[in-house]
């Protein structure tokens, strides 16, 4: 795929090609976390501040990208990766903020039951794997945009066209790589997921070896168990193929219950969303998905 990117505005042309649809896939927990740390100062003590920020942000994403369908993907347990490497993501500290998780449940309950957004989850695979299944298989012939700050989605660029990874914090798309992302990251590692890279291998040296396979082979032959570690890292980083497990993916396809959402938002005191003019904008945005 050419490294020349497709802008958010320019992607509208793809909808005109045959039956191609515009699909927006939101990395669920990642997006809620972004809302958590973007709550306005004047709402930071509000028990529903994350809910407020989340729905304002989600509406804006739908308005900006004008999709035909939206998926909101939740996390499952990475069973296969943990079986391969029990320390996978082992350095992450459990988040015990009960107020946040209460708001997380409020958000997901509204999406599952009251708005025309498809909530998706597989209990034994991570959100990333489900996103890959939707982007690379279920909607292989459509124009797909994934909304996330997680750079692991860059690997999808290596496998399909008509794909965009959009960073909602930078408000811009992430450019397509000119190298094999999985091989590059398997060499340098991923501290966030507790995947150890190779000593002395940083971004530049990893890229050099990805672009020169002779150098890569020489390096992997230079150490004991280097091949084994390299293959393990690739297994942990590469999105798993969910096609054999597709019948176990759960889809919540909710109806539109806008009056119930408005009543709930009014009970939370979201006046800037539920005033007549703002509410019309909110509803009209989601109605484009019906």
Strand stretches in the chain, DSSP E: 22-27, 69-73, 118-121, 143-147, 163-167, 172-174, 250-253
> Do 159 and 268 sit in the same domain of this protein?
yes
Distance, CA of 29 to chain centre: 8
The answer on 277 and 166 residing in a single domain is yes
For residues 24 and 152, state if they share a domain.
yes
CB atoms within 10 A of CB 86: 8
226 in the same domain as 115? no
> What is the 8-class DSSP label of residue 272?
H
Domain count across the chain:
2
Q: Are residues 140 and 261 in the same domain?
A: yes
pLDDT tens, position by position, 227-283 = 999 999 999 999 999 999 999 999 999 889 999 999 999 999 999 999 999 999 999
178-222 pLDDT, tens digit each:
999 999 999 999 999 999 999 999 999 999 999 999 999 999 999
What mean pLDDT is predicted for residues 148-155? 98
User: Residue 1 falls within a domain, yes or no?
Assistant: no
DSSP secondary-structure letter at 137?
I
Both 94 and 125 in one domain: the answer is: yes
- Of residues 73, 167, 181, 84, the one with CA closest to residue 126: 73
- Shared domain for 147 and 256, answered yes or no, is yes
Confidence of residue 92 (pLDDT cuts 50, 70, 90): very high
**Mean pLDDT value across the chain:** 93
Q: Are strands 163-167 and 172-174 parallel, antiparallel or unpaired?
A: antiparallel
Question: Residue 261 is part of a domain; what is its CATH number?
Answer: 3.40.50.1010
Same domain as 191, residue 174: no
* CB proximity list for 54: less than 8 A, separation 6 or greater: 31, 32, 35, 103, 107
CA distance 154 to 166: 10
Domain range enclosing 208: 181-237
Rounded distance, CA 101 to CA 99, Å? 6
Q: Is residue 5 part of a domain?
A: no
Tens digits of residue pLDDT in 42-51: 999 999 999 9
pLDDT at 125 over 80: yes
**Cβ neighbours of residue 51 under 8 Å, at least 6 residues apart?**
103, 106, 107, 268
- Contacts of 224-230 with CB under 8 Å at 24 or more apart are 226/198, 229/196, 229/198, 230/186, 230/187
Tokens 């909110």 locate to: 282
């Amino acid at each position: 795929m050419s490294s020349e990117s497709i802008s958010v505005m320019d992607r509208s042309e793809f909808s005109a090609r045959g039956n191609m649809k515009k699909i927006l896939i939101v990395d669920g927990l990642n997006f809620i976390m972004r809302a958590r740390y973007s709550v306005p100062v004047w709402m930071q003590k509000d028990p529903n501040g994350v809910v407020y920020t989340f729905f304002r942000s989600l509406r804006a994403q739908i308005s900006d990208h004008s999709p035909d369908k939206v998926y909101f993907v939740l996390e499952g347990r990475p069973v296969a990766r943990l079986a391969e490497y029990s320390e996978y993501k082992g350095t992450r500290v459990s988040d015990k903020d009960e107020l946040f998780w209460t708001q997380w449940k409020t958000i997901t309950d509204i999406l599952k039951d009251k708005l025309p957004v498809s909530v998706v989850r597989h209990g034994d695979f991570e959100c990333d794997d489900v996103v890959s299944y939707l982007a690379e298989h279920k909607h292989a012939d459509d124009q797909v945009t994934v909304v996330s700050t997680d750079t692991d989605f860059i690997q999808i660029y290596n496998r399909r066209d008509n794909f965009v990874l959009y960073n909602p914090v930078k408000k811009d798309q992430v450019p397509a790589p000119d190298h094999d992302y999985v091989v590059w990251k398997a060499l340098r590692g991923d501290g966030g997921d507790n995947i150890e890279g190779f000593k002395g291998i940083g971004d530049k040296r990893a890229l050099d070896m990805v672009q020169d396979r002779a150098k890569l082979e020489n390096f992997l032959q230079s150490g004991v168990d280097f091949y084994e570690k390299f293959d393990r890292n690739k297994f942990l980083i590469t999105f798993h193929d969910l096609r054999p497990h597709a019948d176990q993916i759960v889809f919540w396809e909710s109806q539109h219950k806008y009056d119930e959402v408005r009543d709930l938002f009014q009970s939370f005191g979201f006046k800037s969303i539920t005033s007549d003019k703002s509410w019309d904008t909110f509803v009209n945005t989601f109605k484009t998905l019906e």
